[in-house]
Chains A and B, each alone.
Chain A
Amino acid sequence: MEIRKGPARFSLKELRTNMIQAKDLEVTIGRLAMEEEWEPQGPTPFPGIKDLRAWDFKFLSRYKPFYAPFCDLCCLCTYGKCDLTAGRRGACGIDIKTQQARIVLLACCIGAATHTAHARHLLEHLLLKYGEDYPINLGPEIECEMPHVRLVCGIKPKTLGDLTYILDYCEEQIVQCLAAVHTGQEGNYLDFESKALHMGMIDHVAMEVADVEQIITYGYPKGDPNAPLTEIGCGCVDVTKPLTLSIGHNVAPSIEIIDYLRKAGLGEPGQAIEVAGLCCTAHDMTRYTNQAKIIGPMSYELRFIRSGIADVIVLDEQCIRTDAVEEAWRVKTPVIAANERACYGLPDLTELPVEAIVNKLVRREIKGAAIFDPEKVGAVAVLTALRMQPLRKKYKAIPDIDQIKQAASPCTFCSKCRRNCPWDLPTDEAVNAAKHGNIEPLAQLYDRCIGCGRCEEACPQHIPVHSLIVAAGERKFKTEKFKVRVGRGPILDTEIREVGAPIVLGEIPGVVAYVGCANWPTPMSDVGRMAYEFARRGYIVTSTGCSAMAIAFYKDEEGRSPYEVFGGGFLRGELSNEGSCVANPHISDACIKIAYIYARRNLRGNYEEIADYILNRVGACGVAWGAMSQKAASIATGFNRIGVPVIVGPQGLKYRRLYLGRVEDEESFKVYDARTGERVFVGPAPEHLVYVAETVEECMVWTAKLCIRPSDTTKGRMIKLTNYVDLYKKFYGKLPEDLPMLVRTEADIPVTFKDEIMEFLKAKGWQPHPMPSIDPTMLERLIRVKRV
């Protein structure tokens, strides 16, 4: 029997004693322990799917859903396929707009479920190791330990065991929203959107749980702005040593690898054995010890597996290539699947002794093994790597440089590789050039290739196009090595006290978060180029996941990575890496903490008010330049619900839905002045909630623009406009046309462009705004003076 800590509930229809008479009495025991009266309870603790619907509808009336159907059909039930093109309805009555919203909700459910399952799996492992009374302590500089949990759930968790209740709630909400996707359930696109926003919010709660539980138990940095630097890149590992490679997001088995090394007297990672990772699990390994190495983001998976450098591969969960086992088998690397959500068809050997599993792997009796015990994974991985390394030194699936011409020779220049490349890279021209002896065009693709391998699947001549690109870039592959800051985790309350006012007043021009996956339209170093530019301009720059890795691949003129140039604080002109994907809520949490610490707004069950505060006052903008996964969809949607706009790269339009404002609809951009109750037009501040940029230049201009807020003081607006106008002029060649809506008074005008802008405004017939300074809110209930 499984015993879990949780609330016990009972109810009595009628109770009569000498002391008490009661009807319909309900009693809950367990959760009450957490519910001390630390703050007045707000209107929506543990909100269900209807509780924030009115707020969603309010801001969706400004940021209307824009749909770009990725598929014209619905194939979800046996009535179909139904063609929903251009106004047709399906057999169940659904139209294309509602179907898109339904698929968006499905994506957000998948994303939220993935993080919740991750958090639950890790929590159960940690509860066994550390016990349910293990305290949640993020150090003396963090009093507000889990802002999302406080805000959404209305509770203040104190122990590891308390997190169980929060995940119970997340799981219940995911089930409710997923049920709404069923045929014949929800039937309105706005209601689907509201549920998608709900899932985004739940996702941030679950991610917060996932990261806090690992920070407190594994001893990760607790908001340390000076978290150490570590190495990233294929060239950062010593290939003469045995190497374990972890792929995924759930760090538990990788921690056990490191612990096993220590227990077995093999020292720290990098001494007897290299311990490296790909994707977010690598971030989380380096938060445990910065002697672990980060190979790179998801786009490096195929190239590194094929390189044959890894002696054993441990798959945990999420963002693993589905062909990882087959690719590893080609280079004789055994695989361990360590999580029941990603078994990869491998036999479950959890119950076998360590030595027996190692023997099977080393003798290549099996391609790999599923082991659902993290500690055993640690032992098996280390022992397998030690024994495999001398046996498989010569195996790799990447041709040598002198073999490229031969491998390219069957090319007929049919261009199918290029047609199938998500980024239209000129693979056809490069392979054809290699066929004639020139490998330089292939080498030039090394930095741009996202490693999906679609080119190879498309090639009728079966040319290993991706491998040829990596072979041509061999020198870079072997030597590339950069510096990345170890994930610092949450933002300190003390940092919020320092930057809260200048952010809200606009004097720090914005908070920019580079987040998300590796489906980048341009070389991944462009993420670093953008981060560098905004840190240089005095923005607070934050990052997580694959984007935090990509930033390290940019080098300035002196050959330094942005992490070497800028401090790691949540401060003006600094650049922080919060950590893996599940560290994303630390960024939304920082926005919540500004409302809580600087503005002294209550958090407890008070979601609507805090989201309203952030949307109108906290100039933050997320950039998911390579967004790919359903997790990225739910993360972005969670940012949106709390009032933070997000820019995605061009492939982001395949998420099917954006939230776009139309500023010419002035009524939709009016807010209340909370001091008077008057409705005031505030201009495009911010203009959109999810926007797609086609180029880095467009992305940078929009990043500056989406940090503009109605609450900016004249000094703050001037600083923000200085950056917006400067970037616009640099990349677009003139002043932006929307300046008349953004300049409220002459004092808003950047000094450096004063004459030019005044002349421009005069020509446009600009008049100063009658109410440049307001206390903006979209919530009528926050108006302090009631209108008669």
Chain B
Amino acid sequence: MALSPDKAPTIYAALTKRAKNPLLIVGKYVLEFELDGKLLIDYAIEIARKRDMPIVATAHTLKGFLERNFPAVSMGLVDIVNRLQDPNFTVDPRKPPPHDLVLFLGITYQFASQGLSTLKHFAPHLKTITLCKWYHPNADWSFPNVKNEEWKQLLEAFIKALG
């Protein structure tokens, strides 16, 4: 469902805070896309640190996290989505499975869409949120289509609302 921009950050923050074992999955755009000079990877790390949330770095994005001393887990998107179908799987050994909330950021749009479709159909134990600038109908909650400036505001408001 597409949330209206004025409500999305607070709803996202509430969902994330309520989740017992949230997970953030990021794709190649976190190394390529900047909003006012700030790379998406830096937004991802801020979000994860706010909730002590693990990050799965897909594609070759691990290197960016290592450079920032953030202990991300490297796994291809289809590998992590495949495992998330399993309610006994968790990336974070400190928390019991399953992951109950999965956030997506910076993954090639149509690739992410297909991954979200798998989770929609075959992972009833979790909900999905996308933090990208395009609307994702296969996610449980998504931003609507927004321009970069508004996207930046949404991400910043979300980080702020996480506390």
Contact = CB atoms under 8 A, between A and B. Distances in A.
Interface of A: 66-70, 72, 85-87, 96-97, 415, 419, 422-424, 521, 650-651, 653-654, 658, 660, 662, 691-695, 697-698, 701-702, 731-734, 737
Given A66-B82, A521-B108, A87 B59 contact: no
Contact of B120 (A85, A97, A693, A697): A85
Contact of B60 (A70, A87, A422, A732): A732
15 contacts: A66-B118, A67-B122, A86-B120, A419-B134, A650-B108, A651-B111, A694-B59, A694-B76, A694-B108, A697-B59, A702-B76, A732-B60, A732-B63, A733-B66, A734-B62
A97 B28 CA distance: 29
Contacts of B76: 691-694, 698, 702
Nearest to A727: B60
Nearest to A696: B60
B83 A70 contact: no
A662 B75 CA distance: 12
Given A86-B124, A415-B145, A693 B134 contact: no
A70 B117 CA distance: 7
A734 B79 CA distance: 19
B128 to A, nearest CB: 12
Interface of B: 27-28, 58-60, 62-63, 66-67, 74, 76-79, 81-83, 107-111, 114-115, 117-118, 120-122, 124, 134, 145, 147
Nearest to A67: B118
Contacts of B145: 415, 419
Contacts of A86: 120-121, 124
B78 A734 contact: no
Given A68-B114, A650-B108, A654-B114, A692 B124 contact: no
Contact of A654 (B74, B82, B110, B121): B110
A703 to B, nearest CB: 13
A87 B66 contact: no
A701 B60 contact: yes
A419 B120 CA distance: 22
B115 A68 contact: yes
Contacts of A695: 28, 59-60
A558 to B, nearest CB: 27
A6 B21 CA distance: 66
Contact of A653 (B59, B83, B111, B134): B111
A69 B78 contact: no
Nearest to B79: A660
Given A660-B78, A695-B60, A732-B74, A69 B109 contact: no
Contacts of B110: 422, 650-651, 653-654
Given A96-B121, A733-B67, A692 B59 contact: no
Contacts of B79: 660
Nearest to A428: B147
B32 to A, nearest CB: 10
- Interface-centre pick from B58, B63, B147 (highest chain A CB count, 10 A): B63
Contact of A69 (B62, B81, B118, B134): B118
A702 to B, nearest CB: 8
Contacts of B58: 694, 698
A85 B138 CA distance: 11
Contacts of B107: 694
Contacts of A422: 110
Contacts of B120: 85-86
Nearest to A84: B121
A86 B122 CA distance: 6
B21 to A, nearest CB: 18
A69 B115 CA distance: 9
B109 A67 contact: no
A691 B111 CA distance: 13
- Interface-centre pick from A68, A86, A423 (highest chain B CB count, 10 A): A68
B115 to A, nearest CB: 7
Nearest to A69: B117
A692 B111 contact: yes
Nearest to A734: B66
B99 to A, nearest CB: 16
Contacts of A66: 78, 81-82, 118
- Interface-centre pick from B83, B108, B109, B121 (highest chain A CB count, 10 A): B121
Given A85-B120, A653-B114, A692-B76, 8 more contacts: A69-B121, A72-B117, A86-B124, A422-B110, A654-B114, A694-B27, A694-B77, A732-B62
A379 B27 CA distance: 54
